[in-house]
Amino acid sequence: MAFDIDLIRRVYDALPAKVAAARQQLGKPLTLTEKILYTHLHPESRLQAYGRGKDYVFFQPDRVAMQDATAQMALLQFMMAGRDKVAVPSTVHCDHLILAETGADADLARANDENSEVYDFLSTVSDKYGIGFWKPGAGIIHQIVLENYAFPGGMMIGTDSHTPNAGGLGMVAIGVGGADAVDVMAGMPWELKMPKVIGVKLTGKLSGWTTPKDVILKVAGVLTVKGGTGAIVEYFGEGARSMSCTGKGTICNMGAEIGATTSTFGYDDSMSRYLKATDRADVAELADRVAEHLTGDAEVYANPEQYFDRVIEIDLNTLEPHINGPYTPDRAFPISQFAAAVEKFEFPPVLEVGLIGSCTNSSYEDLDRSANIAKDAKAKGLRFKSEFTVTPGSEQIRYTVERDGILAAFEETGATVLANACGPCIGQWARHTDDPNRANSILTSFNRNFAKRNDGNPQTRGFVASPELVTAMALSGSMKFNPLTDTLTNDKGEQVKLDPPTGYELPPNGFAVEDAGFQSPAEDGSGIEVRVSETSDRLQLLEPFKPIQSEQVQNMRVLIKAKGKCTTDHISMAGPWLTYRGHLENISQNCLIGAINAYSEKTNTVLNYVTGEYMAVPDSGITYRDNGIGQIVVGEENYGEGSSREHAAMEPRFLGVHAVLVKSFARIHETNLKKQGMLALTFVNPDDYDKIRQDDKVSITDFSAMAPDRHLTVQLDHADGTHESFQVAHTYNLAQIDWVRAGSALNKIREELSR
What's the CA gap between 170 and 141, in Å, rounded?
17
Min CB(569)–ligand F3S separation in Å: 11
**213 touching ligand F3S, by CB under 6 A:** no
Catalytic residue among 40, 96, 431, 557: 96
Between the CA of residue 496 and those of 381, 386, 412, 470, 475, what are the distances in Å? Answer: 9, 18, 19, 18, 12
Number of chain residues interacting with ligand F3S (CB under 6 A): 13
Q: Which phi and psi angles does 345 have, rounded to 5°?
A: -95, 5
The nearer residue to ligand F3S, 392 or 521, going by C-beta atoms, is 392
Q: Which stretch binds ligand F3S (CB under 6 A): 140-148, 214-222, 480-488, 631-639?
A: 140-148
Smallest separation, CB 126 to ligand F3S (Å): 18
Q: Which CB, 360 or 608, lies closer to ligand F3S?
A: 360
Question: Is 336 noted as a catalytic residue in this protein?
Answer: no
Among the residue ranges 135-143, 210-218, 304-312, 523-531, the one whose residues contact ligand F3S (CB under 6 A): 135-143
User: Length of the chain in residues, anyone?
Assistant: 755
Q: Which listed residue (90, 210, 250, 358) binds ligand F3S by CB under 6 A?
A: 358
Alpha-carbon distance 13 to 19, whole Å? 11
Q: Classify strands 332-334 and 322-324 as parallel, antiparallel or unpaired.
A: antiparallel
Part in contact with ligand F3S (CB under 6 A); list of ranges 46-54, 112-120, 134-142, 493-501: 134-142
* Catalytic residue status for 645: yes
**Farthest-apart Cα atoms in the chain, separation:** 79
Asked if 122 contacts 92 with a C-beta cutoff of 8 angstroms, the reply is yes
**What one-character-per-residue DSSP string does 470-512 give?**
HHHHHHHTBTT--TTT--EE-TTS-EE-PPPP---SS-TT---
User: Scanning residues 82 to 111, which ones bind ligand F3S (CB under 6 A)?
Assistant: 95
Active site residue 183: no
Of the candidates 280, 448, 653, 667, the residue annotated as catalytic is 448
Q: How far is the CB of 161 from ligand F3S (least distance, A)?
A: 7
Cβ-based neighbour number of residue 82 at 10 Å: 13
> 360 or 386, CB closer to ligand F3S?
360
Contact call for residue 425 and ligand F3S (CB under 6 A)? yes
CB within 8 Å of 309: residues ≥ 6 apart: 52, 53, 196, 197, 198, 231
Find the part of the chain contacting ligand F3S (CB under 6 A) among 136-144, 259-267, 607-615, 746-754: 136-144
426 or 607, CB closer to ligand F3S? 426
**Nearest distance from residue 182's CB to ligand F3S, in Å?**
20
Choose which of 18, 35, 63, 162 interacts with ligand F3S (CB under 6 A).
162
Check binding of 140 to ligand F3S (CB under 6 A). yes
Has 110 been annotated as catalytic? no
**Angle at CA of residue 601, ends 596 and 602, nearest 5°:** 65
Query: Of 95 and 641, which CB lies nearer to ligand F3S in the complex structure?
Result: 95
Q: Which stretch binds ligand F3S (CB under 6 A): 123-131, 310-318, 421-429, 665-673?
A: 421-429
Please count the other Cβ atoms lying within 10 Å of the Cβ belonging to residue 512.
12
Contact pattern for ligand F3S over residues 446 through 485, marking x by CB under 6 A: xx--------------------------------------
660-719 residues near ligand F3S, rule: CB under 6 A: none
718 is annotated as an active-site residue: no
Nearest to 57, CA basis, from 84, 37, 74, 73: 37
Q: How many CB atoms sit inside 10 A of residue 395's CB?
A: 23
State CA 214 to chain mean position distance: 19
CA distance 95 to 107: 12
Active site residue 643: yes
Identify the active-site residue in 107, 160, 368, 455. Answer: 160
Rounding to the nearest 10 degrees, give the CA dihedral for residues 712, 718, 722, 723: 0
Three-class SS of residue 195?
Answer: coil
* Catalytic choice (645, 653, 669, 730): 645
Contact (CB, 8 A) for 156 and 114: no
Among 426, 573, 592, 634, binds ligand F3S (CB under 6 A): 426
Candidates 34, 62, 160, 696; binder of ligand F3S (CB under 6 A) is: 160
Beta strands (DSSP E) in 583-711 are: 596-597, 606-608, 613-615, 631-635, 657-662, 679-683, 697-700
Decide whether 395 or 688 has the Cβ nearer to ligand F3S: 395
Nearest distance from residue 367's CB to ligand F3S, in Å? 15
Question: Residue 255's closest CA among 276, 294, 226?
Answer: 226
CB-nearer residue toward ligand F3S: 419 or 749: 419
Is the four-CA dihedral 52, 53, 56, 59 of positive or negative sign? Answer: positive
**Catalytic member of 62, 95, 268, 330:** 95
Q: State the minimum distance, in angstroms, from the CB of residue 418 to ligand F3S.
A: 11
Active site residues: 95-96, 160, 448, 643, 645
Query: Which residues are at the interface with ligand F3S (CB under 6 A)?
Result: 95, 140-142, 160, 162, 358-359, 422, 425-426, 446-447
